[in-house]
Amino acid sequence: MKTTDDPRWNDTSVTKSSGNVFVDLGFDPAEAEVMRMRTEVMILTAQQLKARGWTQAEAARQLGITQPRVSRLIKGKVGDFSLDMLLTLAARSGLHPELRLTA
């Protein structure tokens, strides 16, 4: 079947997001929240590295990790990093991570 013949391509229905794409994909809400936080910290850290104008080699030196690990960070390989490692890298890049819990 050609892709254009697939009826899913003609589906124009819209599903409202929960606000967390990982919940929408069916992950457990607690796990989805950690994944959302990891993703947010990763994106902000990668943006910080770019704003500083660091090459991957310079970022590796400043962050205390290898250049291939910096590459995985920039490419958004979120599964390669724990939340605590991402917070450490964010702080080393000059960001000031904070944790806030709400009910």
Cα 73 to its chain centre, rounded Å, is 8
Using one digit for the tens of pLDDT, what is the confidence trace for 22-43? Answer: 888 889 999 999 999 999 999 9
CA-based angle 33:79:8, to the nearest 5? Answer: 75
Domains parsed from the chain with CATH numbers: 25-92 (1.10.260.40)
Whole-number pLDDT of residue 7? 79
Name the band, by pLDDT with cuts 50, 70 and 90, for residue 13.
confident
